[in-house]
Amino acid sequence: MASENVYVEHCKGVNGLDKVILREIRGSSAEVYLDGGQVTSWKNEFREQLLFLSSKATFKPPNAIRGGIQICFPQFGTIGSLEQHGFARNRLWSVDRDPPPFPANTSHRAFVDLILRHSEEEVKIWPHRYECRLRVALGPGGDLMLTSRIRNTNTDGKSFTFTFAYHTYFSVTDISEVRVEGLETLDYLDNLKNRERFTEQGDALTFESEVSVDFHKQAYPFSWSF
């Protein structure tokens, strides 16, 4: 498919799967596959890859693409009755040609809107109807921004609960140089110690060995695994 403009290109990727390439004039770029609604590449203006993609990634639906930024919905992790990280990362998303208004940002000209709706097969394992919208935007400075919206479309008016995550695989050259700040005093569950609860004491989280923890702030948990 031909380019819509210099910033957004709809084309074929690995194994003929549909993808969208976002570009900015300084050289940064991002690639988004409709399979899983998944960002698989994010490069800065120096063409350096900022995301990790496994060499074992098969790009064979319905298997999730290993790496990049996976969309975990309606379940994150294994806490729940669904498969790990839910089914959104295994589904084929569509380009949303008529998205609802997003907060105005005229500096973002490289973006794509995707949408995922419930299927009748899914209703058998998760009895709810929904619309999941995703905007992937690349800013002029190369910043990548993902914005998601979940809408309940149940015809009976029943509410539902879900968990959601951007499961991001960053490309890291030296793990000893990585620091995660802003987590001090937060509680976390250590997955390597039978999910025992601890409180972060340091001013920054560093990595000297394998780490798999779920931090909790109010009702919004987030995880780190290295």
Helix (H), strand (E) at residue 122: helix 120-123
Side-chain-facing half-sphere of 94: CA atoms under 13 Å: 10
Instruction: List domains and CATH numbers for the chain.
Output: 8-171 (2.70.98.10), 174-226 (no CATH)
Helical (H) or strand (E) element with 180: strand 180-181
H/E run at residue 121: helix 120-123
Q: Percent of the chain, pLDDT > 90?
A: 64
Distance, in Å, from the CA atom of 113 to the CA atom of 185, rounded to the nearest integer, reads 37
Helix (H) or strand (E) holding 23: strand 18-23
Express each pLDDT in 169-198 by its tens digit: 999 989 889 999 888 889 998 989 998 999
Provide the pLDDT for residue 81. Answer: 87
Phi, psi torsion values for 37, nearest 5 degrees:
55, 40
Note the pTM of the prediction, 2 decimals. 0.86
Structure tokens at 121: 């097969």
pLDDT digits (tens, 9 = 90+) for 40-93: 999 999 999 999 999 999 999 999 999 999 999 999 888 788 988 999 999 999
